[in-house]
Structure 1
C-alpha cells in the first residue's frame, strides 16, 4: 500500500510554464494533459491549457499543477494550492475522505472519474482544498 501527498498548484494559464520551470529546477519527468486531450472543445480558448500536469523527479519530489478554467473563480492568494493525496487502495482513500469530510464543503463527491476509479475534492473546515484519488498508471 502506498500513499503520496503532493502539492497541487493552481494557475490561470501559466501551469505549463510553471511545470517546465519546476522540471528544470527539480529534474525528473513532466507529464501533461490539456483540456483538449481530456475531450474539451478544441475551439475553446483554454483547450491547450493544462487540466492535469506533474513533474516527478527520481528523488521522489512531485509537483502537480493545472490551469483553473475561466468559468471558475481564481485568485492566486485564495485558491492557489490543493493538497493532493494519492493512494493505491480504495479502503484507505475512503478512510481519509471520511475523516477529512467532517465539517467540509464537498466540491466533488468521491467516486469514479474519467482518470481514476475514485476521485473527490473537498474544502475542509479550515478552508484547505484536498484532492483525493486512486493513482493509476498514466498513459500518454
Structure 2
C-alpha cells in the first residue's frame, strides 16, 4: 500500500475550538482548514446536531510539527478518548519540559518526565480534554 498513511481524527464533543486554541498555545499547532457546520453547502439531516451546534466545527485539519491531525466537534456533546495515546517526539529535554508542562496544565500526569532506558526524557499525561500523550526526547545528549 504505497503512499498510505494514518492521520488521527479526534472528536471533541463541542469543545473543538477550545482544544485548537489550547494546542496552538501549548504546542504551536497551525490550523490549515476549519469548516463549521453552518458553512456546509448541504444541511445536516434533521435532528443530527444538538441545538447550538451550527457554529461548532464540522472539520478541521491542523499540524503539530510535521504531523497532521484532524478534528471535529462531532454531532453530540461529550467526548471520550481511550485506548490510544498521541506520542510527541522532540529533540531536546527543554522542548520536552515545555510541551509536558503546557499539556499537563489542567490535565493529569500519569508519569512525570524521567530518564528511561529508551530515552533521556519520557513522560505520560492526559490533557484537559482527556487526550492521552506520551512525550519522548528522541536523541541522547552528546
Q: TM-score normalized by structure 2?
A: 0.42
Specify which structure has the higher proportion of helix: 2
Specify which structure has the higher proportion of strand: 1
Higher Cα Rg, which structure:
2
